[in-house]
Amino acid sequence: MINVGVIGTGMIGQDHIRRMTSVLSGVRVCAVSDVDAATAASVGERVGAAVHTTGQELIADPSVDATLVCSWGPTHEQYVLAAIAAGKPVFCEKPLATTTEACQRIIEAETAYGGRLVQVGYMRRYDSAYRALKAVLDSGQIGNPLLMHCAHRNPSVPGVYEKDMAITDTAVHEIDMVRWMLGEEIRAVRVLVPRRSRNGGILQDPLFLLMETAGGAIVDVEISVNIRYGYDIRGEIVGEDGTAALGELSPLVVRHAGQVATPVPADWRERFIRAYDIELQEWIDGIAGGVPATGPSSWDGYAAAVVSDAGVSALHSGERVPIALMDKPKLYAAEAAA
Ligand code: NAD
Ligand code: ISE
């Protein structure tokens, strides 16, 4: 049984606690912590977990085998570094950190430790639809990929969501997915700014991100975070000999009153429910088996942060922003993605 401590008991923290306590096997939530002490206390009481005042205290708790970081992005670095210093596995929700420099500090700490302790929550790599799309691409059936069209649509976002988060918190999923899907790094990014949705308040919504890969493929991403009708994730690859796209995912089709309708997921929890289950179960099984993490690494978190930083500059400047990564440390050399 792996004893996991959860830092951050907000939306995804509670969702991961639910899956660890009632869906997954071989795991127990033994401790929680949140700057919002009242939420941490009520979640801790509900699942019978110890409540720690700080994340650092939780990581140092000898009964905690591994840590799940689900606090706000800018707070991730301190907890990931503390877990590495304690030599304990840590699963960090995306983004690994909100700046390139913070990700570099994590890479330095993990390489100095000499083994992989960090996994980042880029769960699309575990989604059956994305995996099926990648299998078609890798089979060579549609030829070399030339273009990919993506849409990332949220019905709404919380009040704390700020302008740059369309890139750093939302499009960052496509940034990671594209590196994994196409197996190449991203070499430049531009952001086009259409007229604003009246549903977006002070946000610039939607945005249109254009990425160029090292091999010359072009990827466009529509980011709409106040689309109202539901949570809709779309992706289509245009190859030399054909195209392949994520299908419609609903198991239900209603024909009524001259219309055909299928439900759209309400949010990310519903759309990616199985992907989150699989990513965490594999992480837990790996720890139990003494196998270092095999999912998205600190390097993937770093690469996504570099592109995301470039995306934010492109949003502010309107320019094409080229991207350069540091040399990949040996620790991550064997990884397939880019
Ligand atoms: P949230 O606001 O619902 O919850 C975040 C929690 O972190 C809050 O309870 C807050 O009090 C707590 N917190 C803030 N600072 C803290 C600190 N220094 N120490 C401990 N706790 C702290 O946000 P959320 O939607 O649950 O998102 C949390 C993280 O998960 C973000 O990084 C977000 O990008 C990521 N996320 C990932 C996915 C995904 O699809 N993989 C989906 C949602 C959120
Ligand atoms: C949120 O943090 C997530 O990661 C969701 O998957 C994404 O769709 C949403 O836009 C983010 O804010």
Question: Looking at residues 86-99, what average pLDDT do you find?
Answer: 97
Ligand nearest to the CA of 16: 1
Q: Is 7 in the pocket of ligand 1 (CB under 6 A)?
A: yes
Tens-place pLDDT, residues 18-48: 999 999 999 999 999 999 999 999 999 999 9
State which ligand 2 atom lies nearest to the alpha carbon of 225. Answer: 10
Q: Kindly list the protein residues whose Cβ atom lies closer than 6 A to any atom of ligand 2.
A: 154, 157, 169-170, 173, 225, 268
Domains defined for the chain, CATH in brackets: 2-122+274-297 (3.40.50.720), 125-267+302-322 (3.30.360.10)
Q: Which residues, 6 or more positions from 62, have their beta carbon under 8 angstroms from its beta carbon?
A: none
How far away, in angstroms, is 121 Cα from ligand 1 center? 12
Q: Which ligand is nearest to the CA of 77?
A: 1
**CB neighbours of 251 closer than 8 A, spacing ≥ 6?**
none
As a residue count, the chain comes to 338
Q: Report the atom number in ligand 1 closest to the C-alpha of 13.
A: 26
Q: Which two tokens stand for residue 273?
A: 């429910």
| Structural contact between residues 17 and 24, judged by C-beta atoms closer than 8 angstroms | no
The preferred substitution site among 6, 7, 12 for testing ligand 1, maximizing ligand atoms within 8 Å of CB, is: 12
Say what the ipTM of the complex is.
0.99
Per-residue pLDDT at 67 exceeds 90: yes
Q: Is 168 exposed, middle or buried (0-12, 13-18, 19+ CB in 10 A)?
A: buried
Global pTM value: 0.96
| Per-residue model confidence (pLDDT) at position 288 | 97
Confidence tier at 336 by pLDDT (50, 70, 90)? low
- Return the pLDDT at 168: 95
pLDDT of residue 141: 98
Rounded Cα–Cα distance for residues 140 and 272 (Å): 27
Inter-residue contact 118 to 77 (CB < 8 Å): no
Probe target for ligand 2 pocket from 173, 222, 223, 231, with the most ligand atoms within 8 Å of CB: 173
Q: How confident is the model at residue 338 (pLDDT cuts 50, 70, 90)?
A: very low
Sheet holding 2-7, edge to edge: 50-52, 27-33, 2-7, 66-69, 90-92, 118-120
Report the pLDDT averaged over residues 156-166. 93
* pLDDT over 90 at 251, yes or no: no
CA 322 to chain centre: 23
Q: Report the separation in Å between the CA atom of 96 and the middle of ligand 1, taken as the mean of its atom positions.
A: 12
pLDDT value at residue 249? 82
Query: CA 223 to CA 244: how far, in whole Å?
Result: 21
